Amino acid sequence: MMDVSSAPPLASQRVPPLSAEGKALTGHAFEIGPDAPLKLDCGIDLAPVTIAYQTYGTLNADRSNAVLVCHALTGDQFCAEVHPITGKEGWWESMIGPGRPVDPAEYFIISSNVLGGCMGTTGPASINPETGKPYGLGLPVITIGDMVRAQARLVDHLGIDTLFCVIGGSMGAMQVLEWASSYPERVFCAIPIAGAARHSAQNIAFHEVGRQAVMADPDWRGGDYTGQKVKPVRGLAVARMAAHITYLSEPALHRKFGRNLQDRAAITYGFDADFQVESYLRYQGSSFVDRFDANSYLYLTRAMDYFDLAAEHDGVLGNAFKGTKTRFCLVSFTSDWLFPTSETREVVHALNAVAANVSFCEIETDKGHDAFLLDEPEMFAVLGGFLKGCAEHRGLLR
């Protein structure tokens, strides 16, 4: 850990040019050099590693107001601003921003692209310095633990000893739990939303379907497609379509689309997108491939599959949090069948078993797993109150 007094001010940080999908990216970058490589769970020492990140708000004088935002499978560091590549608003502007629960007027917010990602952080599309070519499948397999270790190096670099809060949904919630388990003294409060302490068999199964769709695309070429004219966009789009269904709920799909037809009065007796729901999924698939790398999709889904916090602690989940002083607030959604409430409740039981300070709210909604990204006023009220309470305990309120 870096001594707070010797940490460099933010302004002096090196900001190398970043790029993703062949386009220049705005934002900060931090590099882990070969002198102190990143130790991966698979046993390999990885260097150099670039971590692309964004920050919002100002770090206070005693460096106690930092909030680390962990993104989900297909998210990135642009959580609270217009995305430089897609032009769409940040993926969590409902949660992060002026007047929102995580307000840059109060907190110094750090959001980095995960290891293995494709938005500037080292991933399969990055150049392998040993070959001068993209890693492709030559990149070691990444775990949630590896992502968190890389984030911890970034937090060291920023001169922050203890994070006020680590927050994230879905794969982000996995990172939050990993943070709280691996660096308990560095996390004052933790907010895992719509997550689990392990990936279920059903979820591994869905991920495998997505990976097989990518790998079945002849343009994938065993992962060695970078520099080719074509990319495995058809396989990746199918993977995204299948995954997208799991993010919604049956009632939400029915409410949105029912059996409504797409721009036509009657079925066409063909395989065109007759139904609105088909058209919607096709759009989701095709817009996804413009911003996401197929190999990254393989690596990140694998990282989620491998996640099993109890297994890393002799099969007892409570052991992952023994003696923790972190204040937890877990959130789940009634209609989320991908990361159901029962998975969150298991974490709550484990935290109770070690007498952790824990709050748990299940939010009533029909929006499924995606609810954590959407406008859920009750979630915002609960988390705003939780953060305010924690800020009071942390002495952040003046």
Partner 1 sequence: MTHQHPASAPLRVDLQLIADMIEPGTRMLDIGCGEGELLDHLWREKQVDGRGIEISQAGVNACVTRGLSVIQGNADTDLADFPAGIFDYAILSQTLQATSSPRHVLGELVRIGKRAIVSFPNFGHWRVRRHLLLRGRMPVTRALDYSWHDTPNIHLCTIDDFVDLCRDLDIVIERAIMLDSNGRPLSGIRGSGALANLFGEQGLFLLHRRN
Q: Give strand pairing partners of 51.
A: 30
Other CB atoms within 10 A of residue 369 CB: 22
Cα separation, 169 vs 194, whole angstroms: 6
**Catalytic member of 170, 296, 335, 359:** 170
Contact between 197 and partner 1 (CB under 8 A)?
no
Binding mask 288-327 for partner 1 (x = CB under 8 A): ---------------------------------------x
Q: Is 369 a catalytic residue?
A: yes
Least Å distance, CB 379 to partner 1, is: 9
Contact between 376 and partner 1 (CB under 8 A)?
no
Contact between 186 and partner 1 (CB under 8 A)?
no
Q: Which residues contact 353 (CB under 8 A, 6 or more apart)?
A: 318
Contact between 385 and partner 1 (CB under 8 A)?
yes
Contact between 382 and partner 1 (CB under 8 A)?
yes
Other CB atoms within 10 A of residue 174 CB: 30
Secondary structure E strands in the chain:
18-20, 23-25, 28-32, 38-39, 45-46, 49-56, 66-70, 108-112, 127-128, 133-134, 163-169, 187-193, 327-333, 357-363
Q: Is 349 a catalytic residue?
A: no
Contact between 391 and partner 1 (CB under 8 A)?
yes
**Catalytic member of 28, 336, 359, 370:** 336
Residues constituting the chain: 398
Residues 101-140 that bind partner 1 (CB under 8 A): 106
Cis amide linkage into residue 48, ω under 30° from 0: yes
Least Å distance, CB 388 to partner 1, is: 6
Instruction: Answer yes or no: are the C-beta atoms of 154 and 182 closer than 8 Å.
Output: no
Instruction: Answer yes or no: are the C-beta atoms of 152 and 115 closer than 8 Å.
Output: no
Q: Kindly indicate which of the ranges 215-223, 255-263, 291-299, 385-393 contains the residues binding partner 1, using the contact rule CB under 8 A.
A: 385-393
Binding mask 322-351 for partner 1 (x = CB under 8 A): -----x-x------------------xx--
Contact between 362 and partner 1 (CB under 8 A)?
yes
Least Å distance, CB 264 to partner 1, is: 43
Q: Provide the 8-state DSSP code for 141.
A: P
Catalytic residue list: 170, 336, 369
**Which residues are near partner 1 by CB under 8 A?**
106, 327, 329, 348-349, 352-355, 357-364, 378, 381-382, 384-386, 388-392, 396-398
